Amino acid sequence: MQTHGNPFVLAGYVSREYFCDRETELTWLKDQFTNDRNMVVYSWRRMGKTSLIHCLAHILEKENQADLIYVDLMSARNMQDTIKAIARAVHNKYGRTSKGISKTLGTLFSRLGMSISFDPLSGIPKATFGLTIPSPTEHSLEALGEFLNARKKKIVLAIDEFQQITRFSETNAEAVFRSWMQSNPNLRFIFSGSQRNLMRSIFSEQNRPFYKSTQILDLRPIPLNVYHDFIKKHFKKASKKIDSTIIEEIYDWSRGQTYTIQLVCNKAFGANQAITPETLQRIYHEIIEQEKPVFYNYMKMLTNIQWDVLRAIGLSEPVSSPHSKDFITAHGLGAQSSVSSALNALVEKELVIQEKDQYFLHDVVLSRWFQQQA
């Protein structure tokens, strides 16, 4: 097993040893796979959604049950970008052999209109992921489906940031994907995304193609008691000490957000000193300072009233009545109509999130910066 100098991993999935819990979610995902159901996993950003999918891939492949192919659509702008992303993921999975590209993979790329060139030194063929003569989308998806169905193992196709299809230049992208899923009943699909409102709309609105076609998992924060034991275990294993009260403070400051907890713990573990409240404050300050360029970028992209509303919510979160006269007056926000428009824009951008009629900033560290300045 691969070991890490710091057990609080910040990027990617390493192994179960460094992956905190999610046993309930993994059991749920395996049950959907075993019973031939397609899945949706969504959460707010930085909750560990992608690592969860890679953990599932590790389990399925270790148990020789399936190959999981991970596709990231974050940079996709249309269906041709999507075809290239899926083809690249397929190549990463099956194309890296000492003899170069297999005959079946070469045939697939030809059907997709992709070019195959030869390495001038080794003579090994390699794929070029520009589409020379793009095939029609439906034909390309059909070719991909046939290739994947011909694999010896079952295939799970995990398509991350799936909400991007709502922004594609093609207006029928959802219908095309739904048709492809229906045409390949032996493939299992995981559609995941970090923009919950868009993902909910795609899969829960009655007039949308994907309505009632999948099982949905809304990924929530890992409970404090579970994270507490995970943090304690790794500090103890390294003969380091961290008090339970410090762990609770980290969890609260991070608002249960997986990445932020991992980041604080990574820095605390690497501090090589007793983790006192003063040490923790220095770590918080360091994290906030590192994020300031991002915060200033937010300021540039928002109108003055949007920034003022963002700051007001960050200072007061959770906020249950951002439209109320008391809230508006307390923060000097001006006209109620302007506040309402600004709030709607912030929710649309998912800079502000709504949970059970309460409003928060999506970026936990940004809210802590606002609170630090108050």
Domain made up of 302-374: CATH architecture: Orthogonal Bundle (1.10)
Q: What tens digit of pLDDT does each residue of 252-289 get?
A: 999 999 999 999 999 999 998 889 999 999 999 999 99
Helix (H) or strand (E) holding 217: strand 215-218
Mean pLDDT (whole number) for 289-318? 96
The pLDDT of residue 364 is above 90: yes
Domain boundaries, the chain: 22-218, 302-374
Q: Which of 31-35, 83-87, 135-139, 272-276 has the highest mean pLDDT?
A: 31-35
The pLDDT of residue 115 is above 80: no
C-alpha closest to that of 317 among 298, 303, 299, 331: 331
Mean pLDDT (whole number) for 51-77? 96
User: Rounded to whole angstroms, how far apart are CA atoms 121 and 181?
Assistant: 41
Report the chain's mean pLDDT, rounded to a whole number.
92
pLDDT bucket at 249, cuts 50 / 70 / 90: very high
CATH of 22-218, one of 3.20.20.70, 2.40.30.10, 3.30.70.360, 3.40.50.300: 3.40.50.300
C-alpha closest to that of 317 among 260, 366, 261, 373: 366
Percent helix, strand, coil in the chain, to 5, is 55, 15, 35
User: Rounded to whole angstroms, how far apart are CA atoms 201 and 182?
Assistant: 20
Provide the residue type at 60 as one letter.
Answer: L
User: Phi, psi (5° rounding) for residue 122?
Assistant: -95, -20
Q: What tens digit of pLDDT does each residue of 4-18 get?
A: 789 999 998 999 999
Q: Which of 108-117, 186-195, 354-363 has the lowest mean pLDDT?
A: 108-117
